[in-house]
Amino acid sequence: MATNRFGYSDDFVLKNGKVGINTTEPQEKLDVVGVVKGQDLKVTGVSSFTTYEGFLEANHTIDESITLTSGTNSSLSGEIIVGTGVTVTIANVGLGTTTVGVGNTTAANGRTTNTIDTDEIVSSGQGGIDSLKVYNTFTVPTGGTEDRPIKVKPGQLYYNVDFKTIEFWDGNNWRQVDNTTRSGRGVFTGGYASNSQRMEYINISTQGNSINFGELFESSSFAAGKVSDGKRGVIAGGRTSPANSFNGTMQYYTFASGGNSIDFGNQSVNRRRVDSVSSSTRGVIAGGSNSSGTSQDVIDYIEIQTLGNALDFGNLSDSRYSPAGICNSTRGLFCGGGSTDAEQRIIDFITISSKGDAVDFGECTQRSNCQGGGFSNGTRGVLAGGYGTIGAPQFIEQIEQINIASTGNSFDFGILHQITRDFSGAQNMTRAVLATGGDGPAYIKNITQISLTTSGTSQDFGDLSYATLSTSGGSDSHGGLGGF
């Protein structure tokens, strides 16, 4: 028995096998003009929803591709479970036009997901999805450094198998997502003559004098290279003192624990006055001079968590010693330096994760910055101190800066409140510190600080416990480590 009867005035039409309500010319199997309400709606084929209001049933299983569209903002609640090979396209449902591939579905990025909880879809009106919570499986695009996506938007994620970490595109560079808690510790090692085996540390975020860290197992001085992956620091080469022999020894220490250094391996060439850059995995050591005073163009690299000898990386564009090394997580720059018969204003750059010869970047504005220092917060590189003019050295008080992601010449940043050369440096993402060095014939023990987030004149930080020059410095929180 029928529970509903149609009256004379009801606008109900059956025409050509099609049912119309409030229309005399039905166009579909069921053509309704007006609002339709129901307690249950089951879709067994492919359907398009052009307008809907309210909330869908809490749980839905969709076995075929479906398109949801709406001219007005709407809300989804509950859980949608999508079958294999199915794509749900949400168009203009307050989310812009978004294709969501879920439930073992191969999406546009080649990854698969399973269950999507629509309670966690938050709309910002006509635009993108503000937040999306996925249960079971969610995989971002994956590949090596050379396979990174080209057309990317700020905030896009990527898993880099070379660095073994998630990266995100900040609009200019790929930055590694690094949730490691760092102490912000700077370590200064070695020095000239009787101080050559000392190791001391500071907390970069505060001010004050250095504290004993340990001793080097082999003394080194004259700007030995220093690289760090945030956990381990490695000192490369230098000149032993007082024996005055050049060595290719590399030794390492652990930032968090303190203690004496341990043998790591050897460089390919015995040299001093090198400089270096490093990422979260790899250290690169470049330039220097050998025992006969001949400048070097050698570039070596090491994997910092793997003991062993350095391997060939490539060559600098020109032989030189004491260049200033600065880097972000992908690119390393070697700025200026000295050579046997001339200053070098050249700035070269390399890609740390690959191998090959250095490529021209630009030039230093203030002479060569020989025996100066380089620092970076991952975006801005800062060059400080040193001296230039072969034959009649003139100390450089200028501080210069450079944009690591682009190419070009350095430009003005500020000045040092105390000129110095042959110092060592350490840094975190906001502050660089310069320790010891020479301001003429005298050695100093001063520690100077520079703000990496502003520009201007350096300021006093504290003192090392002894006056010396040619120490080697490193930190567990430098700009090459990426992350936040």
Residue 428 has pLDDT above 80, yes or no: yes
pTM over 0.75: no
Q: Which of 395, 474, 469, 393 is nearest to 239 (CA)?
A: 469
Q: Mean pLDDT highest for which of 176-180, 201-205, 380-384?
A: 201-205
- Domains in the chain (CATH in brackets) are 1-35 (no CATH), 142-176 (no CATH), 185-481 (2.120.10.80)
Q: Which of 306, 299, 297 is nearest to 352 (CA)?
A: 299
Residue 109 has pLDDT above 80, yes or no: no
What average pLDDT does range 153-161 have in this prediction?
A: 87
Where does residue 4 rank: exposed (0-12), middle (13-18), buried (19+ CB within 10 A)?
exposed
Residue 218 has pLDDT above 50, yes or no: yes
* Of 17-21, 177-181, 188-192, minimum mean pLDDT range: 177-181
pLDDT bin (cut points 50, 70, 90) of residue 125 is very low
- The three-class DSSP label of residue 279 is coil
The answer for residues whose C-beta is within 8 angstroms of residue 66's C-beta and 6 or more apart is 43, 46, 47, 86, 88, 89
Residue 30 has pLDDT above 80, yes or no: yes
C-alpha 86: how far from chain center:
36
Enumerate long-range contacts of 72-78, CB under 8 Å, 24 or more apart: 73/123, 73/125, 75/123, 76/118, 76/121, 77/118, 77/119, 78/118, 78/119
Please tell me the number of Cα atoms within 13 Å of 181 on its side-chain side. 1
| Digit-coded pLDDT (tens) for 280-336 | 889 999 998 887 778 899 999 999 999 999 999 999 999 988 888 999 888 999 998
What average pLDDT does range 123-144 have in this prediction?
A: 64
Quote the mean pLDDT of the chain.
77
Greater model confidence, 172 or 403? 403
pLDDT bin (cut points 50, 70, 90) of residue 183 is confident
Strand order in the sheet with 346-351: 324-327, 331-335, 346-351, 359-363
Residue 77 has pLDDT above 60, yes or no: no
CA distance 382 to 458: 12
CA distance 158 to 149: 8
pLDDT value of position 391: 53
Give the position of tokens 């200053």. Answer: 343
What average pLDDT does range 61-68 have in this prediction?
A: 58
